Amino acid sequence: MTDAKDNAPEVFADLFGAEFRTILSIFHEGVIVADAGGTILYYNDAQGRIDDLPPREAIGRKIVDVYDLSEAQSTTMRCLHSGEPVVNQPIFYRTRLGRFANVVSNVYPIRRDGRLVGAVSFTKDYQMVEKIVSPPSTGRTPKTPGNGTRYAFGDIVGSSPGLLAAVKTAQLAAGSPSPVMIFGETGTGKEIIAQSIHNYGPGRRQRFIPINCAAIPENLLEAILFGTTRGAFTGAEDRPGLFEEAASGTIFLDEINAMSPSLQAKLLRVIQEKRIRRIGALAETPVDVKVISSLNEDPYRAVERRTLRQDLFYRLGVVVIAMPPLRERRGDLPALACRFVGRCNQAMKKAVADVSEEVMRLFQGYHWPGNVRELAHVIEGAMNLVGPGEAFIDTAHLPPHLRKPDGVQLQGPPASAPPTICPAAPEAGSPAPGAAPEHAPVENLVQARDMVEAAAIRRALLASGGNVARAARVLGLLSPQSLHYKLKKYGLNRKDFILSSDINKKN
């Protein structure tokens, strides 16, 4: 850190003691302190990283010179002239290395004995917005390469009535241009459903653009959604917003109830008129996007609490999908646990069969506040602790809070199926082996027999590492051909059962 102590005039040393300066120096936000004339007295390392400028090259210079701005354009100078704070100002500019900086600035006046002696500016770097907006990087194969998704309906596990109703509504809604609103607690699968809708609809080849409305300050969110024109505000460039970028694709407005009411009103206008006007522009551009929104509470309650405008709810909630919490669909626990064990088998090159019956009993009694995401994390944590000779996840592998029943009264015996070997999960996006039976409620004996047969085949394939001839022998079949026929029948692919370690050995 370049310490301003040596360079700064006395007013700075007076205002900020050494301890305070140490705090500012380790701040994640950029901090600039200027005197009443706009000369930089202090400039921390974080600001240097945002601006691509070493602090020593900024300290002692006029702020308008460093940023090449007029006094009217500079937020610090505006604060110094008015004596009032200038808050939440989005600023886009190019650094001296030509990088695009995307920041929000808050500037506050500093007074001493009632006299204005300077201003302090805090700058938050929203380069990370690019990360929030762009598809999560997982190293997995996207469903439709480049469209920004990882999931499709085939990746959704569970057959409880609540989940099946959500999937069915989502599939119907995918074919129409109507907006869809998904609500549910954290980790219930709102995003997986949103991506699946996109991948099932006519716009699947276009982009799926998620934007987390809770993570971005209002001014910046408006600029990101609707775009800007050069000169609309300090440093604004001609930039299309996400509504334009998603052309014919899907925009996923995650946590819509975190959006301010005024921005919700602007959004309503765009959705009603299907036209967008970039900030500072006169002309309007037609937009054609599927809008999926999500919120973590019942939208009717959000309307009551005034976190969601009623008029916007009517527009966005043409189709409403409720994601039930995991504690209300405990019957899905065995299938979900099996899927996550399978996925970990693949990632960790292990061959764990399943969770033990005792673990499933504990799972059935737990209230799962983090829902499916929490289950996935619990299983991943446990899989790390399963030793080489162990075939099941046992209570000893669970975190302490899960080892004791948490008081939920179970009705009847746990919905645990007899343990089966959980196959390594396929790449997300490809049809899951046996996915169809998971969604299909058992209606008759034929279906029940098929499910048992498919499970036995999956076990044999996993045990044989995907070798069809060996699996056929284990299953007591006369020829590998008859197993090939059954693989086709159940949509199973032997390659999904080859552990990655075996693939490596073969290559």
Q: Write out the residues near ligand ATP by the rule CB under 6 A.
A: 156-158, 184, 186-192, 296, 339, 372-373, 376
Closest CA to 125 of 95, 85, 160, 163: 95
Minimal distance, residue 436 CB to ligand ATP, in Å: 14
**How far apart are the C-alpha atoms of 1 and 46, rounded to whole Å?**
9
Minimal distance, residue 347 CB to Mg ion, in Å: 22
Burial level of 133, CB count in 10 A (0-12/13-18/19+)? Answer: middle
12 vs 153 by CB, closer to ligand ATP: 153
Minimal distance, residue 372 CB to ligand ATP, in Å: 4
**How far apart are the C-alpha atoms of 178 and 171, rounded to whole Å?**
12
- Contacted by 373, from Mg ion, ligand ATP, none: CB < 5 to 8 Å by type: ligand ATP
- Contacted by 376, from Mg ion, ligand ATP, none: CB < 5 to 8 Å by type: ligand ATP
- Contacted by 74, from Mg ion, ligand ATP, none: CB < 5 to 8 Å by type: none
Taking a C-beta distance cutoff of 8 angstroms, is the pair 78, 38 a contact?
Answer: no
Minimal distance, residue 208 CB to ligand ATP, in Å: 13
- Contacted by 468, from ligand ATP, Mg ion, none: CB < 5 to 8 Å by type: none
- Nearest residue to Mg ion by CB is 191
How many other C-beta atoms lie within 10 A of the C-beta of residue 88? Answer: 13
- Contacted by 30, from ligand ATP, Mg ion, none: CB < 5 to 8 Å by type: none
62 secondary structure, DSSP code: B
Closest CA to 257 of 205, 216, 309, 217: 309
Q: What single string gives the DSSP state of each residue in 358-378?
A: HHHHHHHH---TTHHHHHHHH
Length of the chain: 507
**How far apart are the C-alpha atoms of 486 and 385, rounded to whole Å?**
36
Only segment of 3-11, 160-168, 190-198, 387-395 that touches Mg ion (CB under 5 A) = 190-198
Minimal distance, residue 192 CB to Mg ion, in Å: 9
41 vs 372 by CB, closer to ligand ATP: 372
193 vs 246 by CB, closer to ligand ATP: 193
147 vs 296 by CB, closer to ligand ATP: 296
**How far apart are the C-alpha atoms of 291 and 324, rounded to whole Å?**
22
Only segment of 56-64, 187-195, 271-279, 434-442 that touches Mg ion (CB under 5 A) = 187-195
**How far apart are the C-alpha atoms of 64 and 46, rounded to whole Å?**
19
Q: Which two tokens stand for residue 216?
A: 């971005």
Minimal distance, residue 254 CB to Mg ion, in Å: 5
- Nearest residue to ligand ATP by CB is 189
Minimal distance, residue 334 CB to ligand ATP, in Å: 13
110 vs 258 by CB, closer to ligand ATP: 258
191 binds Mg ion (CB under 5 A): yes
First to last CA, the chain: 50
**How far apart are the C-alpha atoms of 242 and 190, rounded to whole Å?**
20
| Rg over CA atoms, the chain | 28
Only segment of 68-76, 188-196, 300-308, 461-469 that touches Mg ion (CB under 5 A) = 188-196
Minimal distance, residue 403 CB to ligand ATP, in Å: 23
- What residue ranges bind Mg ion (CB under 5 A)? 191
